[in-house]
Each structure stands twice: as structure tokens, then as C-alpha cells.
Amino acid sequence: MNKKLCCFYVNDIHLITMLLPYINERMNEATKVITILEEDISESAKRVIKGIQGKKSDGLLSLDWRNKSLNYLMESDIKDKLILISGTDEFIKEANKIITNKKEDCTILNCYEMMQGSARLQEILDEHDKIVNTSGEKYKEEVFTGYTQKSYEKITR
């Protein structure tokens, strides 16, 4: 069973800055990270990571922050890995379908740009187990006070 996480960001620098502590922690636990990015954010990643000194930056610099097609995801071994996905709603949905069809256990981290995801905030939160921010994995209710999971059960007659 896949663990599904989400995060929200305002721009590439914010995304990278927010995720680096979480990614670094996962990498220190020997978790392999695969980035599936619709846009190339490698220049932004280099700028942010350059400010980090020592061993903490080594693993982060090894991540591929360039854009990748969904074919890359289809060909990748994802078992027990953290799959970081960022892009448009459609890109994220397609990537999640590919992961589901692979039937391999992994952790999915869907990253939504705020202006794009804010209209679907309730739906996005309902689809995920937790939220990731600079302080790590958080329950949805911790980040969005007043959040309540909506039930999507079908009404049968």
C-alpha cells in the first residue's frame, strides 16, 4: 500500500527550501528519492543547495531536479522509494496512475503549486494521508485548522 503525502508551494525556490529538510531526513534513513518533475528546477535547486554546507548537501546535490517525462516513471523501479512529483494537476494525476498500476509499495509526495491547487484544496487534502512542510510530515488538521475529511461514499438505492 502506498503512503500518499502532499505539499503546497508558491514557487520553485519555496518548494526546494521547504522540502530539503524532509528529503534530507529520508535520505539519511537510506530512502532512495526519485524526482518526477514537469518543469526543470535544477538552477533553483543549485542556488538553494549551495547555501548548505557539509555532508547535508551531498545527497541533495545528487538528486536530479530536471524535468522528466512520465515514461521515465514507467521505466523506474519505485519499490520502497520516495517519489516526489511536481507539475500541473494533469501531470500529477497521470504520474499517480502509473504508480498505482505498478502495484509496488512506495511513498508518493505530490507537490501542488498554490495558485493551481488552491481551488481544489479540500479534494487534494482528502486524497492524501499527510502534508509535508518545513517541519516534516504533519496531519492535515495540524496545518489546516478546521479541516474535516469529506466522505465520498456513493449513495446506492
pTM: 0.85
Lowest mean pLDDT segment, chosen from 33-47, 55-69, 73-87, 136-150: 55-69
Specify the residue for cell string 498554490: 114
pLDDT of residue 150: 77
Say if 157 falls within a structural domain: no
Rounded CA gap, 51 and 21, in Å? Answer: 13
CATH code (residue 85): 3.40.50
Say if 153 falls within a structural domain: no
Rounded CA gap, 149 and 152, in Å? Answer: 9
Say if 75 falls within a structural domain: yes
Say if 155 falls within a structural domain: no
pLDDT of residue 129: 95
pLDDT of residue 53: 56
Say if 33 falls within a structural domain: yes
| Cell reading at 11 | 514557487
What residues form DSSP beta bridges with 109? 5, 84
pLDDT of residue 58: 60
Rounded CA gap, 76 and 91, in Å? Answer: 17
The stretch 16-30 carries a mean pLDDT of 90
Task: Summarize pLDDT for 42-75 with one digit per residue, the tens.
Answer: 988 888 887 765 555 566 767 888 888 899 999 9
Tell me: pLDDT of 123 over 80: yes
Lowest mean pLDDT segment, chosen from 2-16, 41-55, 126-140: 41-55
Question: Can you give the residue range of the structural domain that contains 71?
Answer: 3-143
Say if 89 falls within a structural domain: yes
Contact predicate 98/129, CB 8 Å: no
How many domains does the structure of the chain reveal?
Answer: 1
Contact predicate 26/58, CB 8 Å: no
Say if 80 falls within a structural domain: yes
What is the residue-averaged pLDDT of the chain?
86
Q: With bands split at pLDDT 50, 70 and 90, how would you rate the model's confidence at 116?
A: confident
Sheet holding 136-138, edge to edge: 33-37, 82-86, 107-113, 3-9, 130-133, 136-138
